[in-house]
Amino acid sequence: MYKLLFSKLIKTHQIAAPATGIGLFRLLFGIITLQEIFFLLYFNHLIFDPIPYLDVEFPMIPFFLYLWAIIASFIIVGYRCQFAIIANYIFWVVFVHFTPMQRDFDGGFDLFMIGANFFLIFMPLDKAFSIDSLRQKLQTPFVHYSNYSKPTVSALAYYLPVIICLGFLYFDSAIHKMFAPHWRNGLGAWLPSSIPYYVSAINMSWLLNIEWLQKAIGYTIIVFQFSFIFLFPLKKLRPLYFLIGFSLHFGITVSFNIYPFGLGMLIFYTLMLPFCYYRKISAWLQAKKPTLEVFYDEQCPLCNRTILILNHFDIFNCIDFKGAQRFATDCAALNSIDEKTLLTDLYAVDDNQVYAGVTTYAQILIKMRYPSLFGHLLNLPGVFSLANQRYRQIADTRLREPCNTSCKVSSIMMKPMLYERLFAIENPKKQLRILAKVLIVLFILQLNSSIHYGLLYRLEVDLKKSAITSILSGMSNSLIMISQGFIGITPHALYLHDHFEGYHHLLAITYDDEKGNEQWLPFVTQEGRLATPNWGRVHSMWANIAVTPNIDRHRLHKFIMKVTAFWGIKSELELNNTTFKIKLKKINAPEFWVKDLLNNNLSGSWVTIGTAKWHQKEIKITAPKDINLL
């Protein structure tokens, strides 16, 4: 196995791939992380306070979340990539394992994000769409951007994260699915889509009522997940697996209220897209020929750096930057301008119309397409005069010096990424041998998790039957704790029979306003959906922990306390003077297909089964001891 894996690594490492997909993956990963941080900031008191707003145990949480947001922003723009991605990994691990996030507010994708972040540490993140690549160019300002070739990376940077983060996950999930009757009946996607707690604001009942299509989707998911790790690397099948996987996760994103999970999986498909597609898309998006020619002073360090910066953000190649000393004489529109005047400003030519100074910058922004709004704003009278005044201060005091004294590389060199130190060498066989061994260890860790929870647990094998099996079980659990905590390898038993079997109740909370009218707390709607923005990990808290087929009274009361305090105070209610009503609605969660099940579950009637009243920092909840019997 080791020799086969090593030979595959050598062969794949020699394949050059465009860096576009890696840069896009990093950017999207940072965006998803940032939106989750904003989510945590909004629900800070609900998630981290023992009693929301009334008992604040972690007052420094917002400060660290803002620090994390800065790190995530660094990842998005690609600034100090190595530092940012390591710091981001530490934040994910700390917040998931040392706060109530994991125990009570599992977002369903936290461990997945930890695993993805772990691999990002070893990926060439600075090659595309990054400030770091610009910083590298600015170290040699007199080297024209045309002298830099398009960055490429080893195909390993694409394949390894997909195989481990998606391939292992899919295969493990498929094993669990085989033990669930509704998945074996082809209804694995249909059943959770028919439960009000789990659906988004979009009513997909028209699609759910096509029985053959729902079964086709269910069986396709099982076949797709079982075969993905074996067949997706095949060149001819890769577009097919990309299309199926992208469609499935896009469907999860728009139809379920666990959109972070759907998006987290979806971004991995930037690594699944065939390499030639990136080249074709790039050629299609880029301008066939430059729409603006810009002439600059080649002996001005500031001008050269400015051109490198502008070109870096000219992703559609709409601008052609030329040295005035060499190319201005070839432009008929500039022949009337003497050389001394020409070198005092940045000039641009568009259809024989000449621009100078601030108007040049405005035209550059307009021609670059996506920042065109800023170009038009720059032309506004008041803005233009202020910009022109500042421009003249800089342009008239800038220093010029010959290239032979400024072409030297900056003495402050950027440290190479970890990826480059490990693999970007002429003969990386030693490193690839180590990588092969690491991959075998990861495979063993995933195999341990899949066998332990996917087979033995599902087959109800008693692992403590003897002393030996008990010791092996303990060792297995210890390995799972390590792999789960730091690499994100965990059982993926999502939405199975033990989750929905007996799931016949929905709970909601209402209150009477000052006029005596019953109002719904902005948490669960009258249909039974989780109201926006109570999605993601807040949905998981209520729909997967508080309300389950076997409702735990203690945990239910804990979350009723949290929800009423959080949304009561956010809704500006006087907690001590408000009586909250606990409402119950019955639904169905069958293992077989039922037409219009979603609409039937949405339209059921509610009954009041209890109340919740606050007095200072204590809450008294009156409700049946066993709601499961109602």
- Asked whether 527 and 602 are in contact (CB, 8 A), the reply is yes
Please, which residues have CB within 8 angstroms of residue 584's CB and are 6 or more apart in sequence? 505, 506, 507, 606, 607, 608, 609, 627, 630
Which residues in the chain come in under a pLDDT of 70?
A: 402-414, 423-427, 457-466, 469, 629-630
Rounded distance, CA 105 to CA 545, Å? 9
All structural domains of the chain with their residue ranges = 15-154, 288-406, 502-629
pLDDT at residue 131 in the model: 94
**Residue 18, phi then psi, degrees to nearest 5:** -65, 145
Give the CA distances from residue 438 to residues 68, 433, 441, 445, in Å, rounded to whole numbers and listed in that order: 29, 9, 5, 11
Name the CATH topology of 288-406.
Glutaredoxin (3.40.30)
Q: How many CB atoms lie within 10 A of CB 246?
A: 17
pTM of the model: 0.92
> Residue 501: its pLDDT value, please?
86
What angle (nearest 5°) sits at the alpha carbon of residue 278, between those of residues 272 and 282?
A: 155
Distance CA 133, CA 135 (A): 5
How confident is the model over 512-532, as pLDDT tens digits? 988 889 999 999 999 999 999
- How far is 303 from 357, CA to CA, in rounded Å? 12
Strands across the sheet with 607-615, in order?
Answer: 518-520, 505-512, 579-586, 607-615, 618-622
Closest CA to 230 of 167, 169, 275, 175: 167
pLDDT in tens, 181-205: 999 999 999 999 999 999 998 889 9
* Residue 545, both tokens: 């922990």
